[in-house]
A and B are shown apart, each in its own frame.
Chain A
């Protein structure tokens, strides 16, 4: 279980990527598309650099969900970025399960540099899905 109590407004940590998904998230704001202010973003160069431990740390310390806005096939660094990112998510989910935290609190989706609407929709749906998660 988590070390900190969950808050009324679901808190979601998004890991984005500087060149691909972060511009997509920026574009959502530029178009004044709304999503929950409980969503905060840490941008990294590449989704394959996310440490599974960061995901576990975030969920243990009060975030309700972690959303990885991955590059998909657009990654400028690594042609196998998608499979690397998937392996990171799996490793994090395994570690979460061992700690009694639902693996469904982690979601990954490819968000491109113009994916304003998909990001807004997916992160909103993710927050809605978290309401059904009990651990």
Chain B
């Protein structure tokens, strides 16, 4: 016993943990651990009410150690450090134990094994906390500049937002021109503003802001440094390519999406007159007067929804923008050529929120909607008369089989992740099983990634329409401002320290540190190593090289790691 008073909170995570880990058993197994005076389970440790309960427990029980067993430390370390601070406890006396990503979710096939592992992990967290020390964070100056990668509508709007709050912006665009997808679009829902006009307007605003520097035909090729102070390399693909170095405090990735490209033969794709939604949109936007295709008047259009989306063996997700985009396109057709017959063959219509009004208007203006069964999608063929036909079953008319002659068939295709191997290699951002970049938490930290100071926005994160993309871009602006406007970032004081009494000064630690954080000092008439906490990066690389074992890394001391190992290996008797 070393006289500590530790509180342990084991989280259900609303079932994410407790569906596989017996959290009550974990609590019972750790409640009599040395120095533990509070052991509780909680449905959501991160909930405001629970945080308040923790604050109260810290105060009432005079806790000087806190262990929260819940999700990855990437998610809530700052949340629970905040709890400790609000309760008057030093935040570095708190330990996060990951029993979700590295336990319950990885062992959904073995609840008993997951429970046993949770007990070991929590006991190790308690052992570490028993040896924790109160520490103060180290402040470093940050670079008040943000790199925005991708100058589509999201990146353009984010760049303007960043400049308007006083941050320098490097706007990096791989293509020779700005604007991305939206620059190619004519009228867009719901306001009928043309996409290229919006982009022109945003580009003009960018030009008016001296804080923004634009690089087109440019790609990020390297990144080093850390949160608040990244050094990057950007290759500019001119006639003679050039690589430049740019120092930034944060990075916003807004690289956009690709559209699903059907295979030849998929719903008749490859037959003349069978177009994807972007191809149809381009045709529509370039139409003057009545709708025509290859010089022929278009009298009938058939739309087939969910092509390439919601497929069990392909893209399982819904791109959600495409229903509204198609309904909007059909309204554009109706405005252009009032007599065009339009048939919408759908699995489900998802014109959510205000876009439902467009769906209603579309029906009022004559569009006919037919719901086909998932297991029997429509078939597209070219008939003997040269006309396209679409054969479908309509569940709304008792499954009747219908054959629709059409001049154009539009395959309503969704979004797929954009391929960018260079950027993926440089940023090392995690991607989900769908191939889009992953945020830390879709609700709590929706634009942050596990790489500190690197934010994601727009459709590189997943399907969104343009207004949702811009909203997430502005969220990334706010988050960048939160990081950089203070001018300093708080870094963990988890730096190396020297036990002067044990040090025999051999100089190996000084030689090995690339940051020159170690120097020779005199103590009690002896030469000893001295580490500058403001310069030390906290890698711990010097510690294993010390022949005397005189160097420890705060938060990861030799005693703490050995204590953790001892508790991790024990099999529970609870």
Tell me the minimal C-beta distance from B472 to chain A in angstroms: 20
> Which residues does chain A contribute within 8 Å of B514, judged by CB atoms?
78-79
Query: Which of A9, A49, A53, A61 is close to B540, meaning CB atoms less than 8 Å apart?
Result: A49
A135 interface residue per 8 A CB criterion: no
Tell me the minimal C-beta distance from A129 to chain B in angstroms: 20
Inter-chain CA distance A51–B559, complex, in Å, is 11
Stretch of B94-102, B236-244, B457-465 at the chain-chain interface: B94-102
> Which residues does chain A contribute within 8 Å of B538, judged by CB atoms?
45, 77
Most buried by A among B103, B113, B568: B568
Q: A63-B569, A112-B428 are in contact. Are A78 and B106 (CB under 8 A)?
A: no
**Do residues A23 and B450 form an inter-chain contact, with CB atoms below 8 A?**
yes
B571 interface residue per 8 A CB criterion: yes
Interface residues on chain B, number (Cβ under 8 Å): 56
> Which residues does chain B contribute within 8 Å of A19, judged by CB atoms?
450-452
Chain A, residue nearest B537 (CB): A77
Inter-chain CA distance A32–B428, complex, in Å, is 21
B258 interface residue per 8 A CB criterion: no
**Do residues A114 and B429 form an inter-chain contact, with CB atoms below 8 A?**
yes
Chain B, residue nearest A35 (CB): B106
Stretch of B116-124, B152-160, B358-366 at the chain-chain interface: B116-124
Inter-chain CA distance A41–B568, complex, in Å, is 9
> Which residues does chain A contribute within 8 Å of B98, judged by CB atoms?
26, 41
Q: A26-B74, A45-B553 are in contact. Are A37 and B544 (CB under 8 A)?
A: no
**Do residues A34 and B106 form an inter-chain contact, with CB atoms below 8 A?**
yes
Tell me the minimal C-beta distance from A91 to chain B in angstroms: 8
B385 interface residue per 8 A CB criterion: no
Tell me the minimal C-beta distance from A41 to chain B in angstroms: 6
Inter-chain CA distance A77–B558, complex, in Å, is 20
> Which residues does chain A contribute within 8 Å of B561, judged by CB atoms?
42, 51, 54
> Which residues does chain A contribute within 8 Å of B317, judged by CB atoms?
none
B430 interface residue per 8 A CB criterion: yes
A48 interface residue per 8 A CB criterion: yes
> Which residues does chain A contribute within 8 Å of B117, judged by CB atoms?
37-38, 40
**Do residues A9 and B494 form an inter-chain contact, with CB atoms below 8 A?**
no
**Do residues A26 and B72 form an inter-chain contact, with CB atoms below 8 A?**
yes
> Which residues does chain A contribute within 8 Å of B452, judged by CB atoms?
19
> Which residues does chain A contribute within 8 Å of B106, judged by CB atoms?
28-29, 32-35, 37
Tell me the minimal C-beta distance from B555 to chain A in angstroms: 9
Chain B, residue nearest A14 (CB): B102
Interface residues on chain A, number (Cβ under 8 Å): 57
Inter-chain CA distance A13–B568, complex, in Å, is 8
Inter-chain CA distance A45–B390, complex, in Å, is 59
Inter-chain CA distance A11–B104, complex, in Å, is 17
Chain B, residue nearest A52 (CB): B544
Chain B, residue nearest A46 (CB): B539
Docked complex: B106-137 residues within 8 A CB-CB of A: 106-110, 113-114, 116-117, 120-121, 124
> Which residues does chain B contribute within 8 Å of A30, judged by CB atoms?
101, 105, 438
Q: A23-B450, A26-B72 are in contact. Are A46 and B101 (CB under 8 A)?
A: no
> Which residues does chain B contribute within 8 Å of A53, judged by CB atoms?
549, 558
**Do residues B428 and A51 form an inter-chain contact, with CB atoms below 8 A?**
no
A108 interface residue per 8 A CB criterion: no
A122 interface residue per 8 A CB criterion: no
B565 interface residue per 8 A CB criterion: yes
**Do residues B541 and A34 form an inter-chain contact, with CB atoms below 8 A?**
no
Give a binary string over B396-418; 1 marks a CB under 8 Å from any A CB, 0 the rest. Answer: 00000000000000000000000
Chain A, residue nearest B565 (CB): A58
Q: A19-B451, A23-B430 are in contact. Are A48 and B569 (CB under 8 A)?
A: no
Q: A49-B541, A49-B556 are in contact. Are A61 and B101 (CB under 8 A)?
A: no
**Do residues A49 and B543 form an inter-chain contact, with CB atoms below 8 A?**
yes
Inter-chain CA distance A78–B72, complex, in Å, is 25
**Do residues A61 and B451 form an inter-chain contact, with CB atoms below 8 A?**
no
> Which residues does chain A contribute within 8 Å of B566, judged by CB atoms?
61
Query: Which of B431, B544, B562 is close to A50, meaning CB atoms less than 8 Å apart?
Result: B544
B433 interface residue per 8 A CB criterion: yes
Inter-chain CA distance A24–B428, complex, in Å, is 10
B564 interface residue per 8 A CB criterion: yes
Binding site for B on A (CB under 8 A): 4, 7, 9, 11, 13, 18-20, 22-38, 40-46, 48-54, 57-58, 61-63, 74-79, 81, 84, 88, 91, 112-114
6 contacts between A and B (CB under 8 A): A29-B100, A34-B106, A34-B108, A37-B114, A40-B117, A113-B429
Sorted nearest first, the 10 A-B pairs with minimum C-beta distance are A49-B540, A37-B113, A77-B539, A29-B101, A48-B541, A29-B105, A46-B539, A26-B101, A29-B106, A62-B569
